Structure 1
Amino acid sequence: MVAPAVPEITEEILHETIDARTESLVSLRELGPPDFVHLLKQPIRNPGKQVGVYHHVTGVDASSSASLAAYINTLTYKEFGQSATFKTLEGTYCCYNAFSRVDMRVHAPFPGSVESYCVDERGEKRKATDELWLETYLCSVLRAYSYADDGSGETIRKIMGVRRFNPVTNTETEHRFLSAAEQLFFKGWQLGSDSVVQVPNVVSNHLATGLLKYFHTTGRYASGINLFEKLRSQNVEVASLLAKVLFMGNEEVDGARVLYQAIKEQPMDYVMLDTQAQFLLKKAQTAPTPEQKEERLRMALGCADRSTIAAPSEFGTWARLAQVYVAMEDWENALTILNSCPMFTYQDKDSPLMPEPKDVVLPTLPETRLDEIDSEPEARYSEQVDPSLLNLRAAAYRGTFKQAYNILTEMTAKIGWDQLLKIRSNVFVMEDEYRTEKQDPQAYPAKRNASTDALRGTPDHTANGEASEASSEDGEDGDTEDVGQKLQTEPDVDSVAPTFVSNGNTEDLERPSSAVDPDVAKKAENETDEEHFSRLNNKRLCERWLDSLFMVLYEDLRVYTIWRTQMAQYRAQSMQYKKSAEEWEILGSLAERLQHTDEAVEAYRACLGMRFSPKALTGILKVFEKNKSTRETVAATIRLVTWQYRWYSEFSPELFHTIRTLIEDEGAVKVRSIIQATNLPQNVLDLTHHYAALCATFRSSGTDG
């Protein structure tokens, strides 16, 4: 298989990029940035001049200095960029060790001997030991999966000039990876965790996440079961990971048994409880009868509720409980629990901080040539986009805010916006109620307590945990315009009821003969006031971040409604509704976010009709996979694989998983035949055949032999 092309980014001052990487070590908090490769070159016709070029890479074997030196060596003999007119003098490979927080480096002069060492956060040199190399190797594999693109191109566009390789290509390299993972497993918490996890632990960290992603991608469930069985004998908490792999491999009875036995030993392990709740929630969705669905949801509710008690500061437990209530169609409790979720500021992956380059060369291999893909960059450059589409804040949500927004959009998709607003007003103190209380703070002096004091207090109620980006655009002191007031299309009857006055003099008014006795009226008024106060006292204050989510959801729905209304009007008049490809892509993403699948596919198809878009094609691919549309899935995958390879990525776990799933369902021979029958150049088809060959190497289900 031909390797991806090598991008060349030229630095302004010699070695300034290596210095920049050294200075950034102290600020790294996750798995670290992609590996960094620096070459010092000399023009053949001008020996007195030297040029520094670099690129980034993931997936290279980092188990020893020899393997990294071998990678540098391949670059010196490869014809790329201006190699024909330059001679390579030396190369430096930098690979971050997130366990020990040092940068492992290999320096290879040509000719000369290879030097390996590591640099700590203070920039000081240290000796590279075998233990450090073991840690570095494991980190490099985890980074390869963490920094891989899902096919949409979002990850590829974040960092310029990254070559991505598959770190585990056969059973031999798998054994090395899993052996390293077993040795370092109980140090995994040192690597940190996903942004939705507040406190990393033995089973919630980047190492555990990377292992699960590997088994999900490759289907090597037997290897995963074997690994976690051995680790469970040392720590019962690993049972949650073992159960997850068993569920992946459709061994549900064994998975449930493992969790049952483990929870008897540790009844308040929140990860195991959450795993149970997740499994029961999934089974409820496929229950054959309403009675069975209700029973499974009831059990899921018990597990999810208990997990919030076991880990009250974790977002995932509360989010799962909210999902269970949504599945039970208990909308008020779903909204109440969502409001209780502890929110964390999103921590993005570590990325390289490099000085402005002098020059950038991004070559294209002939093997990746495809007209519809090659024309994409130029087409994107000339497109105009409506500012209202660029300002949709929900598109930028990540971490806990993205998951909370997904729960909110799921509720909206099921019950509608108007019903959601009614439920919101039943659960939370609305602005008009709050103002009424604020205007008459002594209305109920005998009833004052902590709850009523909270109602009469400042409206500046901040989000749980740290202040979030979701509320950064709110007004000062959190006194934002209430979304319910803003969106109400019908006026409140009480607000427009006529008030009768007689020159301010009420003494001259005669009491009607049918009027209620004043004592009785006063008693009834007091009862009404107490009922109103009791109802208000049971309501909650909406967290500021959730209030912001409602505003963002309103904006999404507003833009979506305008789009669909205009589309209907144009169709009624037999006119073409025109948008640029970028606008169609944004509209498709908007519809997908609001869980309107058919409309999302419609927009994505309109985008692809104008130019190639990996994001649009990935969105459609999800629907093809769900509907088991084999030929359409293959056609989309071929183009996405080619686009990935065009931008130096020979490995995408999601695309590999798509091919593997197709082979499991249809068989390797049929899938290969469909690939080969596609009317595209052979060099392009070979790139996808490479993924199919990986499945055969791993002896995936559906492959021959």
Structure 2
Amino acid sequence: MVAPAVPELTEEALHEAIDARTESLASLRELGPPDLVHLVKQPIRNAGKQIGVYHHVTGVDASSSASLAAYINTLAYREVGPSATTKTLEGTYCCYNAFSRVDMRVHAPFPGSVECYCVDERGEKRKATDELWLETYVCSVLRAYSYADDGTGEMIRRIVGVRRFNPITNTETEHKFLSAAEQLFFRGWQLGCDSLVQVPTVVSNHLTNGLLRYFYTTGRYASGINLFEKLRTQDVQVASLLAKVLFMGNEEVQGIRVLHEALRETPMDWVMLDTQAEFLLKKAETAPDREQREHRLRLALGCAERSTIAAPSEFRTWARLAEVYVALEDWENALTTLNSCPMFTYQDKDAPVMPEPRDINLPTLPETRLDEIDSEPEGRYSEQVDPSLLNLRGAAYRGTFKHAYNILTEMTAKIGWDQLLKIRSNVFVMEDEYREKQDQQNYPKNRNASTDALRGTPDPTTNGDGEQEQEDDAANGSDSDTIAHNLTPGYKPEDLERPSSAMDPDEVRKDEEKSTTDDHFSRLNNKRLCERWLDSLFMVLYEDLRVYTIWRTQMAQYRAQSMQYKKSAEEWEILGSLAERLQHTDEAVEAYRACLAQRFSPKALAGILKVFEKTKASTRDTVAATIRLVTWQYRWYSEFSPELLHTVRKLIEDEGAVKIRSIIQATNLPQSVLDLTHHYAALCANFRSSGTDG
């Protein structure tokens, strides 16, 4: 298999990339940035000049200094020959150890002996030991999965010049990794955890997430079961991880038994309770009848409620409870529970902080040449985009806020915007109600109903991330007219195109006036105060729905007049993402197809592929989309994407390896392009995945 091309970023000053990495070590909080490879080169025609070039890489075997030195050698001797314009004088490989918080470095001069050492957060040199190399190896594999692209291209575009390799390509390297992970398993909490978990634990951290993702991607469930069975004998909490792998491998009965036995020993383990609730929620979706579905959801409700008691400060427990209420169509409790979720500031992955390079060279391998892909960058930068589409803040949500927004959009997709507003007014104190009660109780004149009643506690603290952006949103009004006024300058109710199901607040006010004053205040006292972050989500949701409705209305009008509705490819991509965010799958696919009709877009194609996988509509279309995404990834130096490997594995599992290989080969594309996808199929054969026999 041909290796990806080598991108090169040229330094302004020699070794400034390594110096910048050393300075950033103290600020790293997660798994660390991708590995840095720095080369000092000398032009053959100018022996007195030295040039510093570098690139980033993930997935290289970091179990010893020898393997990293070997990678430097492949780069140094790649340019040897009569056509070479430079020669490599020395190379340095930097790989971060997140356990001990040191940067492992291998320095290889040409010619000369290899020097191995590590640098701590203070920039001081230390000796590299075998224990440090073991930790570094595990971290490098976890980073390879963490920094891998999901097919959409977002991770590839985030950091320029990263080569991505598959760290585990066969059963031998798998055994090596799992053995190392087993030795360090109970120190995994030192690596931190994902953005949905507040406090890392033995079973909720980056190491366990990486292990679960590996088993999910490759289908090596037996290896996962063996690993967690051994670890469970040392700590009963590991039963939750064992159960998850058993569920992945369709060993559901055994998985339930494992959880049952473990919960008898530790009945208030929130991760196990959450695992049970998640399993029951999924089983309810496939229930044969409504009665079975209701029964499973009631069981899930009991587990989810207990998990919130066991871990009241964790977001995941409350979010799961809200999801169960949504499945039960108990909308008021769903909204109340969502309002109770503890929100955390999103902690992004550690990214390299480098000085501006003097020059960037991003070469293209001939094996990845495909006309529709090669034309993508030029078309992308020449497109015009409507400012209203660029300012949709729903697309920027990450972590807990993104998850909470998904729950809110699911409710909207099921019951509509007007019904959601009615439930909101039943559950939370509205601005008019608060003003009325404020007048009755003679509250101080300087208190603001918008910030007091609607946004949580009367003091300015928030149950959220406390960022200025969220606080600015919280200062806006609460009902739908107020939201529209704040989002649209010069707003007039008769002029603004509302979401098609928007409720008229006047009707709500008329209904409220029918009740007596005493009953009104009795109801008001039972209502909740809406958290600032949730009120902000409502405003963002309103804006998403407003733009979506304008788009669909205009399209309907153009079609009625047999006219073509024109948008740029970038605008179609944004509209597809908007429809997907609002859980309108058909409309999302329609927009993504319109985008692809104008130019190649990995995000649009990945969105369509996701639907293909879910509906299993056309194997050939799924394969065609996968081939193009694999080629685009390889074009940008990534030979490994866990999501695409999982897609190929599931195709082989459903259709058989022979059929999938035949469909790939029958595609009317260059053989070098097809070989890239054949490589993914070969990985499945290495792992002896289901469907590869014969």
Q: Which residue of 2 aligns with 1:436?
A: 436
Do structure 1's residue 148 and structure 2's residue 148 form an aligned pair?
Answer: yes
Q: Which residue of 1 aligns with 2:470?
A: 471
The RMSD of aligned alpha carbons is: 2.0
Do structure 1's residue 695 and structure 2's residue 684 form an aligned pair?
Answer: yes
Identity of aligned residues (%): 83
The question of whether the paired residues in 1 share the 8 Å contact of 2:63 and 2:133 is answered with: yes
Do structure 1's residue 312 and structure 2's residue 301 form an aligned pair?
Answer: no
The question of whether the paired residues in 1 share the 8 Å contact of 2:576 and 2:592 is answered with: yes
Q: Which residue of 2 aligns with 1:289?
A: 289
Correspondence 1:477-556 to 2 at 5 A: 478-480=475-477, 482-483=479-480, 485-486=482-483, 490=504, 492=506, 528-556=516-544
Give distance in 2, aligned partners of 1:635 and 1:585.
19
Q: Which residue of 2 aligns with 1:564?
A: 552
Q: Which residue of 2 aligns with 1:591?
A: 579
- CA-CA distance at 1:232 after TM superposition: 0.2
Q: Which residue of 2 aligns with 1:232?
A: 232
Give distance in 2, aligned partners of 1:465 and 1:405.
13
The question of whether the paired residues in 2 share the 8 Å contact of 1:81 and 1:361 is answered with: no
Task: Give 2:191's aligned amino acid.
Answer: L
Correspondence 1:338-357 to 2 at 5 A: 338-357=338-357
Do structure 1's residue 410 and structure 2's residue 395 form an aligned pair?
Answer: no
- CA-CA distance at 1:381 after TM superposition: 1.0
93 and 492 in structure 1: CA distance in 2 versus 1, 3 angstrom threshold = same
The 3-state SS of whatever aligns with 2:609 is helix
Give distance in 2, aligned partners of 1:458 and 1:206.
34
- CA-CA distance at 1:355 after TM superposition: 0.1
Task: Give 2:462's aligned amino acid.
Answer: A
Q: Which residue of 2 aligns with 1:651?
A: 640
The 3-state SS of whatever aligns with 1:569 is helix
The question of whether the paired residues in 2 share the 8 Å contact of 1:459 and 1:479 is answered with: no
The 3-state SS of whatever aligns with 2:84 is helix
Q: Which residue of 1 aligns with 2:126?
A: 126
Q: Which residue of 2 aligns with 1:635?
A: 624
Give distance in 2, aligned partners of 1:619 and 1:574.
28
The 3-state SS of whatever aligns with 1:230 is helix
Number of aligned residues: 667
483 and 217 in structure 1: CA distance in 2 versus 1, 3 angstrom threshold = same
The question of whether the paired residues in 2 share the 8 Å contact of 1:8 and 1:81 is answered with: no
The question of whether the paired residues in 1 share the 8 Å contact of 2:164 and 2:638 is answered with: yes
Give distance in 1, aligned partners of 2:365 and 2:254.
48
The question of whether the paired residues in 2 share the 8 Å contact of 1:297 and 1:327 is answered with: yes
The question of whether the paired residues in 2 share the 8 Å contact of 1:401 and 1:470 is answered with: no
Q: Which residue of 1 aligns with 2:447?
A: none
The 3-state SS of whatever aligns with 1:104 is strand
The 3-state SS of whatever aligns with 2:108 is strand
Q: Which residue of 1 aligns with 2:602?
A: 614
Give distance in 1, aligned partners of 2:505 and 2:569.
40
Can you list the C-alpha shifts for 1:500-524, whole angstroms capped at 9, x where unaligned? xxxxxxxxxxxxxxxxxxxxxxxxx
Give distance in 2, aligned partners of 1:699 and 1:470.
50
Task: Give 1:464's aligned amino acid.
Answer: N
The 3-state SS of whatever aligns with 2:598 is coil
Do structure 1's residue 174 and structure 2's residue 174 form an aligned pair?
Answer: yes
- CA-CA distance at 1:493 after TM superposition: 5.8
Q: Which residue of 2 aligns with 1:22?
A: 22
Note the residue ranges of structure 2 that are not aligned, 5 or more in a row. Answer: 444-451, 485-501
Task: Give 1:550's aligned amino acid.
Answer: F
- CA-CA distance at 1:81 after TM superposition: 14
The 3-state SS of whatever aligns with 1:492 is helix
Q: Which residue of 2 aligns with 1:678?
A: 667
Task: Give 1:467's aligned amino acid.
Answer: G
Can you list the C-alpha shifts for 1:617-637, whole angstroms capped at 9, x where unaligned? 000001111121210000000
The 3-state SS of whatever aligns with 1:324 is helix
Give distance in 2, aligned partners of 1:402 and 1:457.
20
Give distance in 2, aligned partners of 1:288 and 1:77.
63
560 and 479 in structure 1: CA distance in 2 versus 1, 3 angstrom threshold = closer
Q: Which residue of 1 aligns with 2:55?
A: 55
Q: Which residue of 2 aligns with 1:420?
A: 420
Task: Give 1:291's aligned amino acid.
Answer: E
Give distance in 2, aligned partners of 1:591 and 1:272.
34
Correspondence 1:31-70 to 2 at 5 A: 31-70=31-70
The question of whether the paired residues in 2 share the 8 Å contact of 1:470 and 1:549 is answered with: no
- CA-CA distance at 1:366 after TM superposition: 0.3
- CA-CA distance at 1:463 after TM superposition: 2.8
- CA-CA distance at 1:122 after TM superposition: 0.0
Task: Give 2:586's aligned amino acid.
Answer: D
The question of whether the paired residues in 2 share the 8 Å contact of 1:268 and 1:310 is answered with: yes
Give distance in 2, aligned partners of 1:419 and 1:337.
18
Q: Which residue of 2 aligns with 1:195?
A: 195
Q: Which residue of 2 aligns with 1:448?
A: none
Give distance in 1, aligned partners of 2:688 and 2:95.
31
Give distance in 2, aligned partners of 1:256 and 1:309.
21
Give distance in 2, aligned partners of 1:470 and 1:346.
14
- CA-CA distance at 1:440 after TM superposition: 2.0
TM-score scaled by length of structure 1: 0.92
- CA-CA distance at 1:462 after TM superposition: 3.9
171 and 470 in structure 1: CA distance in 2 versus 1, 3 angstrom threshold = farther
- CA-CA distance at 1:77 after TM superposition: 1.6
The question of whether the paired residues in 1 share the 8 Å contact of 2:454 and 2:478 is answered with: no
The 3-state SS of whatever aligns with 2:473 is coil
- CA-CA distance at 1:78 after TM superposition: 1.5
Give distance in 1, aligned partners of 2:586 and 2:105.
50
- CA-CA distance at 1:289 after TM superposition: 1.0
567 and 320 in structure 1: CA distance in 2 versus 1, 3 angstrom threshold = same
- CA-CA distance at 1:464 after TM superposition: 1.5
133 and 261 in structure 1: CA distance in 2 versus 1, 3 angstrom threshold = same
The question of whether the paired residues in 2 share the 8 Å contact of 1:462 and 1:545 is answered with: no
The question of whether the paired residues in 1 share the 8 Å contact of 2:43 and 2:86 is answered with: yes
TM-score scaled by length of structure 2: 0.94
Task: Give 2:524's aligned amino acid.
Answer: L
Give distance in 2, aligned partners of 1:496 and 1:528.
12
Give distance in 2, aligned partners of 1:210 and 1:457.
37
414 and 84 in structure 1: CA distance in 2 versus 1, 3 angstrom threshold = same
- CA-CA distance at 1:483 after TM superposition: 3.5
Give distance in 1, aligned partners of 2:91 and 2:233.
45
- CA-CA distance at 1:490 after TM superposition: 3.3
Task: Give 1:492's aligned amino acid.
Answer: D
The question of whether the paired residues in 2 share the 8 Å contact of 1:434 and 1:456 is answered with: no
617 and 138 in structure 1: CA distance in 2 versus 1, 3 angstrom threshold = same
Do structure 1's residue 625 and structure 2's residue 624 form an aligned pair?
Answer: no
Q: Which residue of 2 aligns with 1:117?
A: 117
Q: Which stretch of structure 1 is more off in the superposition, 130-139 or 617-626?
A: 617-626
Which structure's CA Rg is the greater one? Answer: 1
Q: Which residue of 1 aligns with 2:564?
A: 576
The 3-state SS of whatever aligns with 1:211 is helix
Give distance in 2, aligned partners of 1:169 and 1:464.
44
Give distance in 1, aligned partners of 2:508 and 2:96.
65
The 3-state SS of whatever aligns with 1:617 is helix
